[in-house]
Amino acid sequence: MRITPIVAAAMACAAGLPAAAQVTAAFEDESNAWSYAGPTGPAFWAQMPQYPACGGPRQSPVNLPRGSLQAPVNVAVTYPAWSNGSIYNNGHTVVVTPTVTTGMLRLDNVPFALTELHVHVPAEHTVQGHRYEAEIHVVNHLRPNNQLAVALTTFIAAGEHNPGWDALIAALPGHEEQRNPISGAVNLVSLLSLGNLPAEWLYRYEGSLTTPPCSPAVTFLIRQAPIVLSREQIDALSSAMVRNARPLQPGQPVQLHRGSP
């Protein structure tokens, strides 16, 4: 994986599917050169010659401190539903890539194109020391150069069964390089309860990919309120992937914002 200013583009994590790969393949490393355990695990990423940024500044994830109210964050998403979707196991996580190209997140009126979403079990970020069951990264890239990304992050807490997730859970590919079709439409707004996003409380900070090459080019927008899945649904997610949470990185300024509807 080359690390150049262009590479600083990147995605919030390892991910990947053909549609996204057309623009982002050069920015990521989905290889088996790294892992989450043993001699290629997170403690050694920075020592690997191809991943120097993993030992550099503004690394993610971090613990999110109690925040004081800051200026409102201006964020909105337009994520159309899509059909003929699939979910892919790349050996590091499971990835869902839109089959439409019109998904958009606007941060401070700057448009970022929806690229993919993937899952970390358990959550990577902690909130005042509390670690949620899982964390979803919805990755959006600044076009055309893809030099910056916004990771819209949603925590998962355990609770009631969430029927909106049934189709996705049923499609989970348990084996590396396995891809399964998702029945019905994929609607991120309902899947992640994004309908009131502009008025939500969000943590915001400038971080990095949480996977090699750890490019310091990701703005995290982390929703304070989790979505809820049942224990059985969370266990299904967990069994589809390795424990893929990078350890917490040295802290950096994080602010808590409220949206500006």
Measured in residues, the chain has a length of 261
CB of 163 to Zn ion, least distance (A): 25
- Closer residue to Zn ion, CB minimum distance, 193 or 210: 210
CB of 136 to Zn ion, least distance (A): 8
- Closer residue to Zn ion, CB minimum distance, 12 or 197: 12
- Closer residue to Zn ion, CB minimum distance, 137 or 204: 137
Alpha helices in the chain (DSSP H): 18-24, 42-45, 166-170, 188-191, 231-239
Residues linked to residue 127 through DSSP beta bridges, in sequence order:
64, 130
| Whether 95 contacts 16, CB under 8 Å | yes
CB of 160 to Zn ion, least distance (A): 25
- Closer residue to Zn ion, CB minimum distance, 195 or 247: 247
Which positions lie near Zn ion, rule CB under 5 A?
12-13, 137
Q: Side chain identity at 179, as an amino acid letter?
A: R
Buried b or exposed e, range 17-52, using 16+ CB within 10 angstroms: beebbebbeebbbbeeebbbeeeeebeebeebebbe
CB of 123 to Zn ion, least distance (A): 10
Query: Which residue number has the CB closest to Zn ion?
Result: 13
